[in-house]
Amino acid sequence: MESLADKKPGTYVVKEVCGEYKKLYDLRIVPGTRITVVYNERGPMIVRVGNSKLAIGRDLARLIKVVK
Protein backbone atom coordinates (compact mmCIF):
# COMPACT_ATOMS: atom_id res chain seq x y z
CA MET A 1 0.00 0.00 0.00
CA GLU A 2 1.26 3.45 -0.80
CA SER A 3 1.51 6.36 1.58
CA LEU A 4 -0.06 9.77 1.23
CA ALA A 5 3.40 11.35 1.20
CA ASP A 6 4.12 10.01 -2.32
CA LYS A 7 0.86 11.10 -3.87
CA LYS A 8 0.27 13.68 -6.56
CA PRO A 9 -2.70 16.03 -6.30
CA GLY A 10 -5.96 14.08 -6.49
CA THR A 11 -8.45 12.34 -4.28
CA TYR A 12 -7.65 9.14 -2.37
CA VAL A 13 -9.26 6.94 0.26
CA VAL A 14 -7.54 6.28 3.58
CA LYS A 15 -6.92 2.58 4.13
CA GLU A 16 -4.92 2.54 7.30
CA VAL A 17 -3.34 4.90 9.79
CA CYS A 18 -0.12 3.44 11.17
CA GLY A 19 1.56 4.47 14.38
CA GLU A 20 0.14 5.99 17.51
CA TYR A 21 -0.80 9.46 16.40
CA LYS A 22 -4.29 10.03 17.80
CA LYS A 23 -4.76 13.59 16.62
CA LEU A 24 -5.31 12.30 13.10
CA TYR A 25 -8.55 10.68 14.28
CA ASP A 26 -9.79 13.98 15.66
CA LEU A 27 -9.23 15.53 12.23
CA ARG A 28 -11.30 12.81 10.60
CA ILE A 29 -8.34 10.96 9.14
CA VAL A 30 -9.59 7.39 9.70
CA PRO A 31 -9.91 4.42 7.36
CA GLY A 32 -12.60 5.07 4.76
CA THR A 33 -12.20 8.86 4.68
CA ARG A 34 -11.67 10.57 1.33
CA ILE A 35 -8.61 12.77 1.38
CA THR A 36 -7.56 15.19 -1.35
CA VAL A 37 -3.95 16.15 -1.95
CA VAL A 38 -3.91 19.81 -2.96
CA TYR A 39 -0.19 20.43 -3.04
CA ASN A 40 2.81 18.20 -2.58
CA GLU A 41 6.03 19.79 -3.72
CA ARG A 42 8.09 21.85 -1.32
CA GLY A 43 7.35 22.58 2.31
CA PRO A 44 4.50 20.82 4.12
CA MET A 45 1.88 18.94 2.12
CA ILE A 46 -1.52 20.57 1.84
CA VAL A 47 -4.51 18.24 1.94
CA ARG A 48 -8.25 18.54 2.30
CA VAL A 49 -10.51 16.39 4.40
CA GLY A 50 -14.08 17.41 3.78
CA ASN A 51 -14.09 21.17 3.96
CA SER A 52 -11.09 21.52 6.21
CA LYS A 53 -7.68 22.22 4.85
CA LEU A 54 -4.66 20.77 6.63
CA ALA A 55 -0.90 21.21 6.38
CA ILE A 56 0.85 17.93 7.17
CA GLY A 57 4.55 17.20 7.62
CA ARG A 58 5.84 14.63 5.18
CA ASP A 59 6.97 12.12 7.83
CA LEU A 60 3.49 12.14 9.31
CA ALA A 61 1.93 11.73 5.87
CA ARG A 62 3.99 8.56 5.45
CA LEU A 63 1.94 6.95 8.26
CA ILE A 64 -1.26 7.42 6.26
CA LYS A 65 -1.76 4.61 3.75
CA VAL A 66 -4.12 5.38 0.90
CA VAL A 67 -5.57 3.86 -2.27
CA LYS A 68 -6.94 5.59 -5.32
Residues near another protein (CB under 8 A)? 16-17, 21-28, 30-33, 36, 38-39, 41-44, 46, 48-57, 59-60
Shortest distance, position 45 Cβ to another protein, whole Å: 9
Closest to 37 measured CA to CA, from 65, 5, 9: 9
Shortest distance, position 20 Cβ to another protein, whole Å: 9
Residues 6+ apart with CB under 8 A from 48: 35, 36, 38, 54
Nearer to another protein, 42 or 68 (CB): 42
